[in-house]
Structure 1
């Protein structure tokens, strides 16, 4: 059973995703399928294992939430350029598994790594939302660009985004170091913002308690230190670590 934590009425952290009850939507981000092939081209060889892990985690998240829809917040594939053989094969297999194996509808919000993905999505009749999906006050967006002026209206209550791959780095008194994926929650332009961790097991993430050079222009403009951080370990649970500003005060730069 995956760890879960309700962070407000109708919004729940489940594993490495967020479930929006009123929409029946499980939102996940940053799969980066095909990363192993990209590493191999750089001379780093690892087994192609992450697609299997992603499928297993998604199956558990869908099963435990009862979600009828999965919205992927960008970066389904890894390469910026054309779709590689591994990306085409594994992306198609995963999306087919979601639609046919689990019986959920799938939508993709375009991320900065999703060039040349349109042909595969059209073939599988999966909508590509660019630059965002807005439904019942919930804006689903990747996060690699500033918020669009068009569509950013008063009826937007919550912004769900990916791109940043947030994580928390911990170190104990004997020097053991641990890095945990994290979900962030805060405010930007009077909107509630929830930043999802990368679903890819090979993307460790930006250490928000020690790293100040954030990737997302949205988070660079936001008061990131006022965001809350929830660390997620798929076996141990979801942990509320409080505000990032206190985490940064507790994290000595000399330890990293």
Structure 2
């Protein structure tokens, strides 16, 4: 059974791939400060150096052989340019001094794979199964990865565990006197097999199945400025096309490892 263990206190996990161990994160959103200035006129001091140092520290701390980004390495949709490209370039250079990088293409990563083709191993947006060389296999076993903005490839149905980003799960917690706070969270639970569709019905539209598929691990966003989905707020819309209906059940966990229980009942 493939193992994916969160790093306590961090929006990152270590996956045992057999002959390799990989550090996985999702939604780095490099260049977010540039994007927020362009999109909303919000001026924030860049945390590019801090993000890069945190990733390098996590790689050193965990002693992994590979770094995997579960999509949205970049923030702005489109080919990276200007200060965003500079941040990605510096991040990629700093990481590849230590270990190779695998990028699972996310909806914000248009042009990233092409721009850094000589520095990245790339897995397409519908996902793949990690193997020791940094590529993906089609045998469906082990640790599967995708971003989450599309339905997963049917070949991932027989994986032990599926890791994804895109959702940026958060929980809103309230105290007895009405105060509240929002914290990033993990979401874990078994997927319905119907999530994966099949060759004739790749979107799985209109189909129901009681068959249980692999465990899903939805990663918190690495970038704390990128917002997210309040998974325990009634009426909140999920971003992934197969959530929350595709989860048979799901538990939420805080970054410190605190288990909050069924996210539908928090």
For the aligned residues, what is the CA RMSD? 1.8
Which secondary structure does the structure 2 equivalent of 1:218 belong to? coil
Residue 30 of structure 1 contacts residue 200 of structure 1 at CA under 8 Å; is this kept in 2? yes
Larger helix proportion, structure 1 or 2? 1
Match for residue 108 of structure 1?
A: 103
**Cα distance in 1 for residues equivalent to 2:223 and 2:122:** 20
**Cα distance in 1 for residues equivalent to 2:28 and 2:161:** 22
**Cα distance in 2 for residues equivalent to 1:197 and 1:176:** 23
Please state if 1:120 is matched with 2:123.
no
**Cα distance in 1 for residues equivalent to 2:69 and 2:247:** 26
**Cα distance in 2 for residues equivalent to 1:78 and 1:115:** 10
Please identify runs of 4+ aligned residues in structure 1 that moved more than 3 A.
Answer: none
Match for residue 76 of structure 2?
A: 79
**Cα distance in 1 for residues equivalent to 2:152 and 2:117:** 26
Which secondary structure does the structure 1 equivalent of 2:117 belong to? helix
Match for residue 43 of structure 1?
A: 41
Please state if 1:177 is matched with 2:180.
yes
Please state if 1:162 is matched with 2:156.
no
Which secondary structure does the structure 1 equivalent of 2:224 belong to? coil
**Cα distance in 1 for residues equivalent to 2:11 and 2:30:** 16
Residue 37 of structure 2 contacts residue 43 of structure 2 at CA under 8 Å; is this kept in 1? yes
Which secondary structure does the structure 1 equivalent of 2:35 belong to? helix
TM-score normalised to structure 1 length: 0.83
**Cα distance in 1 for residues equivalent to 2:116 and 2:231:** 33
**Cα distance in 1 for residues equivalent to 2:166 and 2:60:** 25
Which secondary structure does the structure 2 equivalent of 1:221 belong to? coil
Which secondary structure does the structure 1 equivalent of 2:152 belong to? coil
Match for residue 202 of structure 2?
A: none
CA 31–220 in structure 1, closer or farther in 2 if over 3 Å, else same: same
**TM-aligned CA deviation for residue 18 of structure 1:** 1.2
Q: How many residues align?
A: 229
Match for residue 207 of structure 2?
A: none
Q: Which moved more, 1:68-77 or 1:197-206?
A: 197-206
TM-score normalised to structure 2 length: 0.81
Please state if 1:62 is matched with 2:59.
yes
Q: Where do residues 140-159 of structure 1 align in structure 2 (5 Å cutoff)?
A: 140-149=145-154, 151-154=155-158, 156-159=159-162
